[in-house]
Chains A and B, each alone.
Chain A
Amino acid sequence: MKQRIGVYICHCGGNISDYVDVEELGKMFHKEENVVVSKDVMFACADSNQKDMVADIQANNLDAIVVCSCSPKLHLHTFKNVAARAGLNPSNYVQVNIREQCSWPHSDRPREATVKAAGLIRAGINRVSFSESLENIELTVKKSALVIGAGVSGMKAAIDLARSGNEVFLIEKDFFVGGRIAQKQTLFPTNQNGKEVVAALYNEMKKFPNITIFTGATVEKVSGSLGNFTVDIKVKPRYINPNADKKAVKRAMDECPVSVHDDFNLGLVERKAIYKNYPEALPDVPLVVAEALKDAEDFTGKFASTLNLKEEEQTLSLIAGSVLVTTGYDHYQPKEGEYGYKTISNVVTLPELNRLMEMNPDKLVYNGKQIKSLAFIYCVGSRQTKGDNKYCSRQCCTSTIHTSLQLKEKYKDIQTYHLYRDIRTYGKQELMYAESSKQGDLYFKYEEKEMPVVSVDGKSTIVKVKDYLTAKKEMEIEADLVVLVTGMVAREDATTISELFKIPIGRDKFFNEIHPKLKPVETVIKGVYIGGTCQGPKNVSESVQSSLAGASKITALLKSGTVSVDPIIARINADACTWCGKCSDVCDYTAIKEILFGEKHVATVNKAVCTGCGICAPVCPENAIEVAQYTDNEIESMIDGFMMDFDIKEKGAGEVVEVEEEGKVGMKEYPLVWREILAGMTDEKNTIPEIVANSKLASELVTFHLMTMNRYGVVVPAGMDAKETYYYYKRK
């Protein structure tokens, strides 16, 4: 139990003290047993107060501190650092939120807010009394990173990681690098060819001897934890003799008599059973679909020295200090009959149109018919109120309009119709929307409750839409090709990766970061980061930004060779534990194992793996599990603290402390900064710069204090200067 506790109650200017009587609380808790210091302070977070706190802790030999101020989300680490600077273990610090969860939501009831604040502070003191001095867990880390997925995000991250001196393993499920970007003929806004971008990144990677690329590789097993993951990967064979003559390989590709489904072109055409995704695909070694050639004995016999059909898959173990997952996305696949997909012959998806455009350099032809008009239906598989995909895929509006511009540039005489719900061409992409409108693309706005209908009328395909831009008038559009603008969905194998690495998945089935703003590439699994579209819909630029953020995080993590991990984890009371296995069953991270403790079997926690979520604690029938800083004593004593009642006098209306002159007794109650400001004021009007010039205080500090002085009636604004720049202040 802590016996020398310091309590600091913050005015936060007037944010707290306008509603909560912090001065009264400061005095009240000063009388508490075990509370050695109790102060109300104007700004707890101000440098000057932090210095005072350090001095207090050292002078009074405090063994714990409680700061009652804003949300811990803002200043938890500020005050933990104060504790550390004063030589106090940061775990012996508790922050009590009397602003966001007291003074502000109860600003309508100041007295009750003060009573509540007293309970919150009492709970904080109770909690810190039971606080333990915890030490961070130090782990040794391997200076190597595993990047999963060699799309544009993964390749950029691999280059950055390698440039920072890390050993990098880049694994790709496909046999060629590049991911989805290789399927894009042109990219907005540079109009670069996707394949050129892939080639540039691949060639850049080849300059780094510390990058090892595995294609046709999948993750099979993961063990270990932050700093020392062991990842078993399976590398599938290419069935090409590595010593084969390149010309012979080329001949084998040309002469291959068997065709297979062409995934790269989304099944629009077939490809040879010895293929590359496209002629320039990298690595520059084709893949053989051995199963398809099993009956082509004459062919395989002819190329016996080129092909190696007996090649076997390999399993390798990689050791990595950290992991970056950049596995990308899948296209939403419309259901059969959805807007006529697969039931009406000239209905395709946007990705399919992109492939068609690349395969048709001069005239856009589909099913033997030249395409002169296209109707795009937006938001297919996105923003479904009743379906699974409630999110917006963000990039499809831009991608469609960019495609529309490319269509007119490439094929000239072509008309496009856009049936949209809302156009979301944010940022610079808006310019493209304007360009599309200027070139004559026609836009029709529909609502989800009245979706467009695609039907066949003789040889024509008709799209009916109720256009909200023209008073819901029903339009009929005859189109040679109907294009469904499909969004992004999580990859089919995302669940497998999630299970292997224990990465949580959101309702949208994409991987979940810890916090979208504050920890956007971190997962709750220490050492595992996410980047690119495996996290949710993004365009290329945003994907690369997030994967590079992940790479930077990993570089910082691996840099020193050791890493310090938060000690807030679960722990087992081995004496109480009877090993029933329930804790292990609910742990998604396999952090709990059974061990022999003396002569009995008990649970033990892997400190490097445990996330401190506490899911294991409530299921223990023996109550043998606690999470550090969330122990029974700490939580139950907080509840006891809330329940205490406090006799707090209500101040009469208008009863505020006024100080008319410096030097009077009341002045001594005010912080030093105010006294200095007031002492520096003359009888003449003062401006802020004058006050600052006449004092030794930092200008920001003065400004903060002046902002809150009215509450105390110390100074009041008296007008502006000739340039109307600064407020004058005068002493009241």
Chain B
Amino acid sequence: MSTPINQSPATKSPKILVFSTDKISDPGIDQAGLRKIHYAPSVYVISLPCSSGIKPKWIMHALENGFDGVFIAADGHECSYSSRCADHTNTIVETSQELMKAKNINPRRVRMAALCSVCAEPFMSHMENYGKILASLED
């Protein structure tokens, strides 16, 4: 079922994988689209129930297969599942960074920030800033 990889699309922006959450940050990212707030087309989003459910191995899979960075659009204090969500997600980031160091991947290639359900502009800013940081990394 594989599609042959042809030439790369005409984008020079770093490829960012965003993990969003169904009820909080994904609606915020949707709103950016709804308001035609532009960000790089090299940003791809996977929505999950809760940012505390992201497995470090998924982050590693993305980074080892061509993504330049992983951005976790966390629920923070707004999480409807757990008041400890920010702590859990932070642990996931730390665990991932340990795995990344072991494989000589710059720990800055994973980043976490809280994003609310109306955070359209903040999402765009995060993508812009994180894109610049990733572009400057040489590991």
A interface with B by C-beta (< 8 Å): 32-34, 71-73, 97, 99-109, 111-113, 115-116, 119-120, 122-123, 125-126, 129, 504-507, 512-515, 523-524, 568, 586, 588, 611-615, 617-619, 623, 627, 630, 632, 635-636, 638-640, 642-648
Question: Is the C-beta of B112 less than 8 angstroms from some C-beta in chain A?
Answer: no
B27 interfacial by beta-carbon distance below 8 Å: yes
Question: Which residue on B lies nearest to A512, using beta carbons?
Answer: B80
B45 within 8 Å of A by Cβ? yes
CB-CB under 8 A for A612 and B11, given A32-B3, A515-B23? no
Q: Are A105 and B23 in contact (CB under 8 A)?
A: no
Give the CA-CA distance A513 to B78 in the complex, in Å.
10
Instruction: Give the interface segment out of B48-56, B100-108, B130-138.
Output: B48-56
B49–A636 CB distance below 8 A: no
Whether A615 lies near B50 (C-beta < 8 A) is yes
Contacts of A102 in B (CB 8 A): 33, 41
CA distance A572 to B65 in the complex (A): 27
In the complex, the chain B residue whose C-beta lies closest to that of A588 is B82
A32 and B1 contact, CB distance less than 8 A = yes
- Known contacts A105-B32, A615-B53, A618-B53; is-contact A116 B41 (Cβ 8 Å): yes
Residue from A106, A109, A515, A638 whose CB has the most chain B CB atoms within 10 Å? A106
Contacts A613-B82, A627-B53, A645-B9: A108 and B33 contacting too (C-beta < 8 A)? no
* Contact between A647 and B6, CB atoms less than 8 A apart: yes
Q: Which of A73, A111, A129, A618 contacts B55 (CB 8 A)?
A: A618
Question: Could you give 23 example pairs across A and B, Cβ below 8 Å?
Answer: A100-B33, A105-B37, A107-B36, A107-B38, A112-B11, A116-B41, A116-B44, A123-B44, A505-B83, A588-B82, A613-B52, A613-B53, A614-B48, A615-B52, A615-B85, A618-B54, A618-B95, A630-B49, A639-B61, A639-B62, A642-B15, A642-B17, A642-B44
- For the complex, give the distance between the alpha carbons of A513 and B81 in Å: 10
CB neighbours of B31 from chain A (8 A): 100
Q: Enumerate B1-55 residues with CB–CB distance to A below 8 Å.
A: 1-3, 5-11, 15, 17, 23, 26-27, 29-34, 36-39, 41-42, 44-50, 52-55
Q: Would A617 and B53 be within 8 Å (CB), given that A104-B33, A639-B67 are in contact?
A: yes
Contact with A along B78-91 (1 / 0, CB 8 A): 11111111001001
Instruction: Tell whether, in the assembled complex, residue B48 and residue A630 are in contact, meaning their CB atoms are under 8 Å apart.
Output: yes
Query: Would A588 and B81 count as touching, CB distance under 8 A?
Result: yes
| Chain B residues within 8 Å of A116, by CB | 9, 41-42, 44
Interchain CB contact under 8 A, B8 and A645: yes
6 more contacts with CB within 8 A, not counting A104-B36, A618-B95, are A514-B23, A618-B92, A627-B49, A630-B53, A643-B67, A647-B6
In angstroms, Cα B15 to Cα A170, docked, is: 55
Contact partner of B56 among A106, A109, A618, CB < 8 A?
A618
**When A104-B33, A618-B53 are in contact, do A524 and B81 touch as well, CB less than 8 Å?**
yes
Residues of A within 8 A of B41 (CB): 102, 106, 109, 112-113, 115-116
Q: Are B9 and A115 in contact, with the CB atoms below 8 A?
A: yes
Q: CB-CB < 8 A to B57: which residues of A?
A: 623, 632
Q: Please give, as numbers and ranges, the residues of chain A lying within 8 Å of B79 by CB-CB distance.
A: 504
Q: What residues of A have a CB within 8 angstroms of the CB of B46 in the complex? A: 635, 638-639
Q: Shortest beta-carbon distance, B69 to chain A, in Å? A: 13
Sorting the interface of chain B by its residue count into under 10, 10 to 19, 20 to 34 or 35 or more gives 35 or more
With A97-B30, A646-B6 known to touch, is A613 a contact of B78 (CB < 8 Å)?
Answer: no
Contacts of A632 in B (CB 8 A): 55, 57-58
Task: From the candidates A73, A119, A122, A647, name the one contacting B30 in the complex (CB within 8 A).
Answer: A73
Instruction: Say yes or no: B92 contacts A129, CB within 8 Å.
Output: no
Q: In the assembled complex, how far is the CB of residue B49 from the closest CB belonging to chain A, in whole angstroms?
A: 5
Chain A residues contacting B38 (CB-CB under 8 Å) are 105-108
Once the chains are docked, how many angstroms separate the CA of A636 from the CA of B64?
11
Whether the pair A504, B83 counts as a contact (CB closer than 8 A) is yes
Contact between chains at A507 and B53 (CB < 8 Å): no
Cross-chain contact A618 with B1 (CB below 8 angstroms): no
- A113 and B50 alpha carbons, distance in the complex (Å): 27
Q: Could you tell me the distance between the alpha carbons of A438 and B65 in the complex, rounded to whole angstroms?
A: 71
- Residues of B with C-beta under 8 A to A513: 80
When C-beta atoms are compared, the residue in chain B nearest to A498 turns out to be: B83
A520 CB to nearest B CB, Å: 12
B82 touches A615 (CB 8 A): yes
How far is B50's CA from A126's CA once the two chains are assembled, in angstroms?
A: 22
- Check if B1 sits within 8 Å of A639, measured CB to CB: no
Q: Which residues of chain A have C-beta atoms less than 8 A from B45's C-beta?
A: 97, 101
Pick from A71, A115, A125, A615: contact of B1, CB under 8 Å: A125
Query: Closest residue of chain B to A35, judged by CB?
Result: B1
What is the distance, in angstroms, from B99's C-beta to the closest C-beta of chain A? 12
A614 touches B50 (CB 8 A): yes
Complex Cα spacing A71 to B22, Å: 11
With contact pairs A105-B32, A506-B78 given, residues A614 and B52 touching in the complex (Cβ less than 8 Å): yes
A103: which B residues are within 8 A, CB to CB? 33
Q: Of A73, A108, A129, A640, which one neighbours B27 at CB under 8 angstroms?
A: A73
Contacts A614-B50, A615-B52, A642-B44 known; A112 to B33 CB distance under 8 Å?
no
Minimum distance in angstroms from B41 CB to a CB of chain A? 4
The 7 closest A-B pairs by CB, nearest first: A614-B53, A100-B33, A647-B6, A104-B33, A115-B9, A613-B81, A100-B30
Residues from chain A with a CB closer than 8 A to the CB of B8 are 645
Expressed in whole angstroms, the minimum distance between the Cβ of B26 and any Cβ of chain A is 8
User: Residue on B with the closest CB to A505?
Assistant: B83
Contact of A615 among B5, B33, B81 (CB under 8 A): B81
State in angstroms the CA–CA spacing of A109 and B62 once bound together: 24
Chain A residues with CB below 8 A from B61, complex form? 635-636, 639
**Bound Cα distance A73, B24 (Å):** 12
Q: In the complex where A506-B77, A636-B58 touch, is A71 in contact with B30 (Cβ < 8 A)? A: yes
A522 nearest in chain B by CB position? B80
- Asked if A504 and B82 make an inter-chain contact with CB atoms under 8 angstroms apart, the answer reads yes
B1: A residues at CB distance < 8 A: 32-34, 125-126, 129
Residues of A within 8 A of B9 (CB): 111-112, 115-116, 645-646, 648
Closest to A113 in B: B41
